[in-house]
Structure 1
Amino acid sequence: MAVITFANTKGGAGKTTAVLLLATELERKGYRVTILDADPQYWIHRWFEASRGRTTINVISYVTMTSLQRHVEEARSRSDFVLIDLPGARSPLLAKSVGFSDHVMIPIQGCAMDAQGGAHVIELLQYLEEKGNIFIPFSVVLTRVNSMVTTRAMQVVKTLLAERRVHVLDTPIIERSAFRDIFDCGGTLYSADPGRVSNLAKARENASAFANEVIESLETRVRFQIPTPGAAVSIRTAA
């Protein structure tokens, strides 16, 4: 069982979209998934309500500092993956959630403000490693990327991350209307109507590539042994 926290202290970074795409792709592969919705906007909760039983994903809403540990412990017993969606702001939940995590995913848009929000998370993780000898692997995923244009701001962000030797996923999350539509309509990219959702095939391809790379990152950076869906999971943090 793996706990993956999604964090950026700036709102609007594409964090919740990344959570939902990974969760639904893992579900499609047959894994048991629980999402802990700690974001006060409760977009995951709203998606779950709109889905009306079209998903096997377990969503726990209104997660607080007091309830987080209990929810994580309960989810560990029944899930292959536990995904935590944190508030898009500075919050005490960040440090507490990181403490339960096997991996931290940091979504960043190609702009300086998003990069700064992501930097707050990275600085915390680096502080834990340097001062407490606590190593928690983390990765950055670039979000809301224009499929046609690579902006100067995006290049600045990539350069900044490379200089800090931060692991960045090769697969960015492209800005697609299909990703917004599943929040409005519920369900997944695979239950959506291709006749009503534009570029659905490309959205599915992007989501699948993103999920596959996250799993590969867990295998290589956390020594995560991918189980048969529904079976026990073994994790050992890399030295």
Structure 2
Amino acid sequence: MPVITFANTKGGAGKTTAVLLLATELEQMGFKVTILDADPQYWISRWRDNSAGKTGIKVIPYVTQASLEKHIQEGRREADYVLIDLPGARTPLLAKAIGHSDHVLIPIQGCSMDAQGGAHVIELMQYLADRGNIHIPFSVVLTRVNSMVTTRALQTVKALLAERRVHVLNTPIIERSAFRDVFDCGGSLHTLATGRASNIDKARDNARAFADEVLMHEALRCRKLQLGRAASLQAVA
């Protein structure tokens, strides 16, 4: 089953929010999801504690470099998707998690510090490709984007990513109060009371569009693998 890792070496990039939105939308679509919580802030684990009876998502807390591989193997057997929430820092766990991933998502806010944290992950991905011939698909997802204003800083980040030919998801994660409320209330945007947060419908639409795009790229990845295997079999024949 696919393993999707969320990584940015700077904290506060919206990484855990992106994990939660994808996980809860996947569950809403009928998929079984396991989240490996390796972030020392343990926001996902706290969310799960607040979600009794509201979700079937399995959250494994206190994931370490030593336990990561075992948890991934168990998650692949039990779930349709395994999501990994990494620490917002440079740690040996970063490279190990990436090495076990099918796709790496790099959340970046529209600011230079977030872009630098994301650049550390991108540089590691490129190093693995150049030196180890390890090619793992990765994408940037822009987070906490103001729906009304495009800042100069965000434009600079977009230009930098385009210059490096880094794939950026078409769907940014908009700054919404509903996303914060889900952490407080538990459950998902679909169990959150309509009057609990403003623009709840827009928040749900944004989360679904984000999840749909991730699933589309996962389908394309699987298709490429199938074509590659078919070509290998024909070459052998």
The C-alpha deviation readout for 1:174-229, integer Å capped at 9, x for no partner, is 00000000001101001011112111000000000000001111122x2269xxxx
Partner of 2:6: 6
The letter of the residue matching 1:29 is M
**Inter-partner Cα distance in structure 2 for 1:8 and 1:197:** 28
The letter of the residue matching 2:102 is D
User: Aligned with 1:139: secondary structure?
Assistant: strand
TM-score by length of 2: 0.94
Instruction: Determine if the alignment matches structure 1 residue 188 to structure 2 residue 201.
Output: no
Equivalences, count: 229
- Which structure has the greater CA radius of gyration? 2
User: Aligned with 1:51: secondary structure?
Assistant: coil
CA RMSD of aligned residues (A): 1.5
User: Aligned with 2:153: secondary structure?
Assistant: helix
Partner of 1:141: 141
Determine what percentage of the aligned residue pairs are the same residue: 70
Q: Structure 1 unaligned segments of length 5 or more: list them.
A: 226-234
The 1:185/1:28 distance shift into structure 2, 3 A limit, reads same
The C-alpha deviation readout for 1:9-35, integer Å capped at 9, x for no partner, is 000000000000000000000001000
TM-score by length of 1: 0.93
Q: Structure 2 unaligned segments of length 5 or more: list them.
A: 230-237
Superposed displacement of residue 146, structure 1? 0.5
The C-alpha deviation readout for 1:152-183, integer Å capped at 9, x for no partner, is 00000000000101000000000000000000
**Inter-partner Cα distance in structure 2 for 1:75 and 1:237:** 26
Superposed displacement of residue 145, structure 1? 0.2
Question: Relative to structure 2, which stretch is displaced further, 211-220 or 145-154?
Answer: 211-220
**Inter-partner Cα distance in structure 2 for 1:211 and 1:151:** 25
The letter of the residue matching 2:21 is L
User: Aligned with 1:184: secondary structure?
Assistant: helix
Instruction: Determine if the alignment matches structure 1 residue 21 to structure 2 residue 27.
Output: no
Aligned pairs (5 A) from 1:134-213: 134-213=134-213
The letter of the residue matching 2:20 is L
Aligned structure 1 segments of 4 or more residues deviating by more than 3 angstroms = 235-239
User: Aligned with 1:129: secondary structure?
Assistant: helix
